[in-house]
Amino acid sequence: MAESRKPALLVSACLVGDRCRFDGTDRFSARVAALGEMFRLIPVCPEVSGGLPTPRPPSERLGGRVIAKNGADFTAAFLRGAEKTLETARLNRAVGAVLKAKSPSCGVGRIYDGTFRGTLVDGDGVAAEWLRREGIPLWTEDDFINCEVENALRKIARDFENMIQEGE
């Protein structure tokens, strides 16, 4: 399928090789990158687009705030990044998003609890929360251990291609 005819899928930029994580590294996932065969991948890093530098202090959600390990309050930057990520999803008509697991901006379903002790709690990262409210389906790279997710994404890509063909 031609690139312009592929459905758009947001992906955390670190999962496709961008060195934008808090520690200046990436978390490249070959399985996520391979989705580019079916989707037009739209890399996003809400933390960077919200104005935070790379590297930056590690952060965790604590209630409605995002606090860095050094005590700095990064909430405003995370909110700006979530807003820009949602705007990117809308502009590209994204059919879903594959986001970095456990991240304070991108985590889906499970995030760190704000104590910096490695404890996970139920919840979404800030950008994931905004995307979910918009009704955008969300996954993490960890979901790709399960073939059902890949099959669902293949179906989305086929349905999109059929929709395009019917519109011609």
Better-predicted residue by pLDDT, 30 or 161: 30
Give CB contacts under 8 A, 24+ apart, made by 129-132.
129/82, 130/82, 130/83, 130/85, 130/86, 131/10, 131/85, 131/86, 131/89, 131/97, 131/99, 132/108
Give the DSSP H/E element, type plus range, for residue 63. Answer: none
Token pair listed for 18 = 């961008």
Q: How far is CA 62 from CA 66, 115, 116, 132, in A?
A: 6, 8, 10, 19
Burial (CB < 10 A; 0-12, 13-18, 19+), residue 90, is exposed
> What average pLDDT is seen over the chain?
93
Section 21-34 average pLDDT: 96
Residue type, 30: A
Return the minimum-mean-pLDDT range out of 42-46, 84-88, 153-157.
Answer: 153-157
The pTM of the whole model exceeds 0.95: no
